[in-house]
Structure 1
């Protein structure tokens, strides 16, 4: 079908804004995804309601994906903005892509019917039903309506599950197992033994992603179209969450510097009860051999949102994703939930590290909670991943974590550099001996046993330590200084 044939159809009243009406249309795809390339094969007429457009710069990015995929034409609906924006017209003109304007009163379904009649013939219009399902979602139908239409129109049943095993929509029997298969599948779509067919919903990393699980072995084309429908609905939900993330980012950024009335007002703006208890969670998701995609802090925040069933939002700070979580129960209950979700997210090539603060109340506690959660997260990362709670860090380590790095390093260097220099020059073992001696509470014999040396060797080495540092290891204050220096180095 030529573009000119579509333009000649009087009931559609399409207007060619740029390009030539000579391209061959081989099919129709409806999409509002900002990066739709994976769902395109070339030759399509792409219909869009422009939900992906947040600013003029988005048009060039969207059109570039279409051109690279080899689509024939783009038809933009007027329903959202009331017109086709000049930046989209310019992007299509510069790249030689035909652009059609769809009047507000013309539905995408009507355009699909016209194209299907020409391409498929009346007797094969049933093959266009999945496209009409996509159109319904593009025009506002939610996920429950999507799966009802998929069942009634296509005879396809299934649902959507998160990587943590939470059923988001539809029906997914044995959701935990389906989520595990989704995480571990070498490639997608993946057919399970049941059989069920698992598709990924979008390009999110799997640990933060959603899986479309359909009963039986499903035609990949139908699966991909349904997955793109779910992706569109997820994109819509993200619109509101962006605003929530900006508000939380402002609240956490001002913690410790703004006055309490201002922070209280920000908490209320974030939908938080100032008098109710909460906890702060810090998370990172470190990918092995990752060269692109979200960094560990951003991905950690996205994973954390899914672990908490998207009941909160998280923001990416310098070294971790951060969320302020209202406590409906105790901190222990929240820790139990996070541990359970962590165990379900075991996936190759990724390390998840979480830190959880104590129960907090009011805006004045936010800064301390951030420090607690941040240090606990770093401790978890040092252990190779997992969850560390504030109960595990109420030691000297928490005090060290609050000292600026340059001061901590300077303190350690001033006391220990003479020992490190001596060890390098004489191939001695003063630093290890000092550390072991302090861990043994100053017991000469126990220290000698652990180091497998004679007790007199320990006495000699400790004497050299005292001479080089100017400290007396029989004095508790000097022992504490050297112990902290070792932990800060």
Structure 2
């Protein structure tokens, strides 16, 4: 040991000037990538938040997230209808669609809803991976945002997850704002529509102003349609609202010159039509049948009944047409064999029968007149009631009745005679014939409820 100069040097230790110098080479590739992704996240968050403060729609949000991530993106509602979609290419959007078709989507959406946050689904058989984020509005989840998952792994995939989750939050803000505006506009439109349809002792000037605010041209003839809504058994208020919204959208799309307004349990349409009154009512009634069929297929077990009023030639006629449409829909609800869709002009004697407050009185009348014939049919499997119905429709012609029912005219004559024998009534008597016809109308309306 050398103790000169008071220094104690350990043998073999390098001198200070001989020690190796460590050079700082800067952050590694992973850190650089994470910093880049962080900047991307901050920038994207800023842009998305900007959309929330503007009058933006879902399409704008979806287009931004698709463009920045370079993936397909779409928003679907809780009934799996696509509300908006975008992507760098049509194929990118189709990739998301294709993956959805391979999934048990109900379970996926339920899992995302329970977590109330974004979840990632790996790709299968070359399918693009997906990120599914619930769009939350208070306690409700009305829709979901789905994006293709960016390739690259690690931080890049984290970017896709974080960005999708934040975009879903912005979508919730946009949907909430649009729902509020739609509610205000819808309530205002409903108030004006009800003012037109329920107006009593109003001046033409007032009616004209209300119609003008609704965009109704009072120089054209119109028809009023009303749709009564019933949810499936055990259905919720939310289910009834979805049914109403679907009917409202369908009528708006199918009736181009119509003003449509929705209540809690009904939808009303004021439809501009042509000058041919019969053709006008036929066309609106046909849309009513389409509405009933489509709603039944979309919401099995739901009740959609449609009534169509007469043609209005002036604003003061709207209340009359609306009252006719309501009577028609009430009648078809009571008289189930009318098919759920009926125009007021086609009700015939059902217009009077529908005024009977207690439907049991109608059943009792029909049973008194044709009860023995009904019992005979059930016990002997005869076809007298339908023969009688066609016979009346064909103005008592055995030949025409036989042609329609693929029978021999003598068979028709025999059946009519048996009807008279069983009921004790004579169809050649005006009073008896009228009584049987009214009873038959009740049976045809009530069907198996008799």
TM superposition score category, shorter chain reference: 0.5 to 0.7
Aligned partner of residue 406 in structure 1, secondary structure: coil
- CA deviations 1:334-367 (Å, max 9, x no partner) are 9679959976995474658474747655431354
- CA deviations 1:176-222 (Å, max 9, x no partner) are 99699699943445989975857675689xxxx76655456795664
Equivalent residue number for residue 168 of structure 2: 227
Change in 2 beyond 3 A, CA 1:195/1:415: same
Work out the CA distance in 1 between the residues paired with 2:167 and 2:37: 24
Check conservation: 2:337, 2:444, Cα contact below 8 A: no
**Correspondence 1:365 to 2:318:** yes
Equivalent residue number for residue 322 of structure 1: 268
Work out the CA distance in 1 between the residues paired with 2:82 and 2:285: 17
Q: With the length of structure 2 as denominator, give the TM-score of the two structures.
A: 0.55
User: What is the deviation of 1:139?
Assistant: 2.0
User: What is the deviation of 1:259?
Assistant: 2.8
- CA deviations 1:19-73 (Å, max 9, x no partner) are xxxxxxxxxxxxxxxxxxxxxxxxxxxxxxxxxxxxxxxxxxxxxxxxxxxxxxx
Give unpaired runs (5+ residues) of structure 2: 1-33, 110-120, 151-156
More helix by share: 2
Check conservation: 2:384, 2:419, Cα contact below 8 A: yes
**Correspondence 1:272 to 2:216:** yes
Change in 2 beyond 3 A, CA 1:472/1:400: same
Change in 2 beyond 3 A, CA 1:285/1:459: same
Change in 2 beyond 3 A, CA 1:401/1:157: farther
Change in 2 beyond 3 A, CA 1:415/1:326: closer
Work out the CA distance in 1 between the residues paired with 2:432 and 2:341: 34
Aligned partner of residue 259 in structure 1, secondary structure: coil
Give the structure with higher Rg (CA). Answer: 2
**Correspondence 1:420 to 2:371:** yes
Equivalent residue number for residue 259 of structure 1: 201
Equivalent residue number for residue 241 of structure 1: 182
**Correspondence 1:462 to 2:420:** yes
**Correspondence 1:142 to 2:56:** yes
Work out the CA distance in 2 between the residues paired with 1:401 and 1:196: 63
User: What is the deviation of 1:226?
Assistant: 2.6
**Correspondence 1:487 to 2:444:** yes
Work out the CA distance in 1 between the residues paired with 2:97 and 2:337: 29
Greater shift, 234-243 or 439-448, is seen at 439-448
Work out the CA distance in 1 between the residues paired with 2:212 and 2:406: 60
Check conservation: 1:437, 1:443, Cα contact below 8 A: no
Work out the CA distance in 1 between the residues paired with 2:369 and 2:292: 47
Work out the CA distance in 1 between the residues paired with 2:311 and 2:322: 9
Change in 2 beyond 3 A, CA 1:420/1:372: same
User: What is the deviation of 1:437?
Assistant: 1.6
Aligned residues: 359
Equivalent residue number for residue 75 of structure 1: none
Give unpaired runs (5+ residues) of structure 1: 1-119
Change in 2 beyond 3 A, CA 1:242/1:379: same
Aligned partner of residue 357 in structure 2, secondary structure: helix
Aligned partner of residue 268 in structure 1, secondary structure: helix
Check conservation: 1:284, 1:321, Cα contact below 8 A: yes
User: What is the deviation of 1:368?
Assistant: 1.8
Equivalent residue number for residue 76 of structure 1: none
Summarize the alignment of residues 258-407 of structure 1 with structure 2, pairs less than 5 Å apart.
Answer: 258-261=200-203, 262-283=206-227, 288=232, 290-294=234-238, 296=240, 298-307=241-250, 308=252, 314-316=261-263, 318=265, 320-325=266-271, 332=283, 339=290, 347=298, 349=300, 351=302, 353=304, 355=306, 357=308, 360=312, 362-363=314-315, 364-369=317-322, 371-372=324-325, 375=328, 390=343, 394-396=345-347, 399-400=350-351, 403-406=354-357
User: What is the deviation of 1:134?
Assistant: 4.5
Check conservation: 1:160, 1:210, Cα contact below 8 A: yes
User: How large is the RMSD of aligned CA atoms in angstroms?
Assistant: 5.9
Check conservation: 1:430, 1:462, Cα contact below 8 A: no
- CA deviations 1:74-109 (Å, max 9, x no partner) are xxxxxxxxxxxxxxxxxxxxxxxxxxxxxxxxxxxx
Check conservation: 1:371, 1:402, Cα contact below 8 A: no
Work out the CA distance in 1 between the residues paired with 2:407 and 2:302: 37
Change in 2 beyond 3 A, CA 1:349/1:428: closer
Work out the CA distance in 2 between the residues paired with 1:203 and 1:404: 46
User: What is the deviation of 1:154?
Assistant: 3.8
Aligned partner of residue 270 in structure 2, secondary structure: strand
Summarize the alignment of residues 431-442 of structure 1 with structure 2, pairs less than 5 Å apart.
Answer: 433-441=384-392, 442=396
User: What is the deviation of 1:303?
Assistant: 1.0
Change in 2 beyond 3 A, CA 1:425/1:257: farther
